[in-house]
Structure formats: structure tokens, C-alpha cells
Amino acid sequence: MAEKKEQKRGRGRPISGEAKREITAFKFEPAFLDRLRRAAHHSPKTATQIVEEGAAIILDRLEKENGGPFPPVPVKEKRGK
């Protein structure tokens, strides 16, 4: 049986069966974004993959210093509607 290649539809939207991802926004210094874009262009990784791997390293260190994972953040109830 032939192995099915994992494919992505444009702009990072997952194909059915893949984990859902959330979209969020962060502000970065222009010099950092320039470094990130250049690294992503010249490596096999996307900018998102580079940021996720870097953040995972820092989060692992912070959780180790904390003695384990941080507790969940309380969710604010939406008002209106």
C-alpha cells in the first residue's frame, strides 16, 4: 500500500485529519522579523516552525524552573450578544 504524503492546502490550512491550529498575532521588532524571514527563506523550515521550536525551548526551560507546567489561564466570559 502506497504511503500517502502529508499535504497542506495554501496558507497553512490543515487537511482533514491534521491537528487544528489557532491563529494569533504578535508584534516583533523589524530587525527580528528580517532575520526570521531570511532564515526561513534559506532553510527547509517555515517561519512558523522556527518560532514554534524557539518558543518550545523557552517554555520547556520556564516550566522546569517552575517545577512543572503552569496552571491554566482563567477564561473570561464574553459579554453581549
pTM over 0.85: no
Instruction: Kindly tell me the sign of the dihedral angle through the C-alpha atoms of 31, 29, 24, 50.
Output: positive
C-alpha dihedral (58, 62, 67, 69), degrees to nearest 10: -70
- Side-chain-side CA neighbours of residue 74 (13 Å): 2
pLDDT tens for the chain, residues 1 to 81: 444 444 444 555 555 556 788 899 999 999 999 999 999 999 999 999 999 999 999 999 999 999 999 999 998 887 776
Q: Tell me what the pLDDT averaged over the chain comes to.
A: 84
Residues 6+ apart with CB under 8 A from 53: 45
Looking at residue 21, the DSSP 8-state letter turns out to be -
